[in-house]
Amino acid sequence: MQYDLLTVAIADHIATVTINRPDALNALSPQLLTELSIAVAELEGHDEVGIVVLTGAGKAFVAGADIAEMQGMDSVDAAAFAEYGGNVGRAIEESGKAYIAAVNGFALGGGCELALACDFIYASAKAKLGQPEVKLGVIPGFGGTQRLARRVGVAKAKELIFTGDIIAADEALRIGLVDKVVEPEALMETVSTTAKKILANGPLAVAAAKRTIHEGLSMTLEQGNRLEQLAFANLFSTDDQSEGMAAFLEKREPAFRGS
C-alpha cells in the first residue's frame, strides 16, 4: 500500500517502517496514526516479514503528538485520539512479529510511547527521550504511564512523567528505558544484526515467547507459569519443533518454515 506519511521497505524478511513527516519532526497526527495502524495490520499478514523496524526520517523518531491538531480538541475528541493511539501501541505489542524501535533522534511524548510498545528500543547516541506532557497540562495518553512504569520502575517513571524531563540516550540506557545505544551511523546496522539473529530462530517460538511474556505480566506468577507450560507444550505439535531438534542433533542449521 502507498502511504503519504510513511515509507515501508521490505528486504531479507525485515520490514522497515519509516515515519516520514520530517518537517513536523514526525509528530503523530490522526492521519499518521491511521497510516501506522494500517501498516501494522498489513505487515501482520505478510508472510515474508518476520521482523518490523520502526524509525523516523530526519532529526526525530517521533517528537510527540501533533499539538497543533490537539489544541482544539474537547474531552470527547481527546478520548478518541488517545484510544486510537493506544490501539496502535496495542497492535504492535500483540503482534506475532518482533518490533524494534530504532530511535534516531527525538522520541518524546507519543514518540516515546510508540517506542515503548516495541519489543526492543535501540537508540542513537544523539537521541533524546521523555514524556513531557505535563508541561502542556496533560499526561501521556497512548500508554506511557503504564509501559514506562513497567519498563523502568514506578518511582523512575513518576520522576520522568512528573518533571517532564527529557533525557539523553546514555541516561535512558542506564535506567533501562532503551536497550542499546550506538553511534548514529551504526544504528540501523546494529538493529539489522539483532533482527537477523531473531530471524534465524523458530518464528512460531518467537511469537509464542512474545505473547507469553506480555500476557503473563497481567497474571499471578502461578498463572503465568501455567501459560508458559501450555505454550511450550503446544509448540511440540509444530513442524518447526521437529526441525529444530532434528537439526540440533544432526549438527546443522535448522530450516524453519513457520508451521
Same domain, yes or no, for 118 and 228? no
Active site (annotated) includes residue 113? yes
187 with 213, same domain: the answer is no
Residue-level pLDDT at 2: 86
Task: Specify the pLDDT at position 79.
Answer: 94
Q: Is residue 258 part of a domain?
A: no
Burial of 201 (0-12, 13-18, 19+ CB in 10 A): middle
Question: Residue 1: its pLDDT value, please?
Answer: 73
Q: Is 51 within a domain? A: yes
Q: Confirm whether 257 is domain-assigned.
A: no
Residues in the chain: 259
Per-block average pLDDT, block size 10, for the chain (259 residues)? 92 96 94 96 94 96 90 92 94 96 97 98 98 96 96 98 98 98 98 97 96 95 97 96 95 93
For residue 62, which phi and psi values (nearest 5 degrees)?
-150, 120
Per-residue model confidence (pLDDT) at position 246: 96
Question: 45 with 165, same domain?
Answer: yes
Q: Same domain, yes or no, for 161 and 239?
A: no
For the chain, what is the domain count? 2
Cβ atoms of residues 195 and 53 within 8 Å: yes
Residue 82: closest CA among 44, 63, 109: 109
Any domain includes 120: yes
Shared-domain flag, residues 103 and 35: yes
Provide the sign of the torsion angle of the four alpha carbons 246, 248, 254, 259, taken in this order: positive
Q: Are residues 157 and 236 in the same domain?
A: no
Q: Measuring CA to CA, which residue among 88, 66, 69 is closest to residue 77?
A: 69
Kindly tell me the number of DSSP H helices and DSSP E strands found in the chain: 11, 10
Say whether both 210 and 193 belong to one domain.
no
Please check whether residues 231 and 116 belong to one and the same domain.
no
Residue ranges in the chain assigned as alpha helix (H): 30-44, 67-70, 75-94, 110-117, 144-152, 154-163, 169-175, 187-199, 203-216, 221-234, 239-249
Rounded-to-integer distance, Cα 64 and Cα 109, Å? 5
Residues 125 and 40 in one domain: yes
d(CA 149, CA 256): 36
In a domain, 245, yes or no: yes
Does a structural domain hold residue 21?
yes
User: Is 170 within the bounds of a domain?
Assistant: yes
pTM: 0.94
Instruction: Answer whether residue 185 is part of any domain.
Output: yes
Identify whether residues 218 and 122 lie together within a single domain: no
Pair 208, 194 in one domain:
no
> Which is the catalytic residue, given 35, 69, 113, 222?
113
| The three cell numbers locating residue 49 | 516479514
Question: Domain of 166?
Answer: 6-199
The catalytically annotated residue of 133, 159, 185, 215 is 133
- Establish whether 133 is a catalytic residue: yes
